Amino acid sequence: MKLVVLPYRLYLTRAEELPEGALSAPFFALVQVEGHRTLVLPGEHLPPGAEAEGPFAALAFEGPLPLEMIGVLGRVGSVLAEVGVSVFAYSGYETDYVLVREKYLTLARRALTEAGYEVE
């Protein structure tokens, strides 16, 4: 299975409202549960003064992946957990994304490659 490192420096933040331009960002994700919003977006799209975690690198599974596919994120998460890399995962309609802190990207690539994944 192949993963592609996307060319974005991503950040996680909370937001009351969507920041201007968020919907036109090259990578944007929103998770909202009971009024709590978490945004994932490039740093240049963060709201002014926002508290944010990052930067993160995004690895995308080459897709499309069938929605019925089982264990894709679990296997990658296990490989990365074994080398001490935490992940933030996001599933889209056609593929899944694994975010790792940018400072651990080299370690994550090496571990995934050793586990049999192709990382581009």
Range in 35-49, 64-78, 83-97 the model is least confident about:
64-78
The Cα 71–Cα 92 span in angstroms is: 15
Per-residue model confidence as pLDDT tens digits over 73-120: 899 999 999 999 999 998 888 888 999 999 999 999 999 999 999 999
The Cα 112–Cα 26 span in angstroms is: 25
Percent of the chain with pLDDT over 90: 66
All domains in the chain, ordered by first residue:
2-119 (3.30.2130.10)
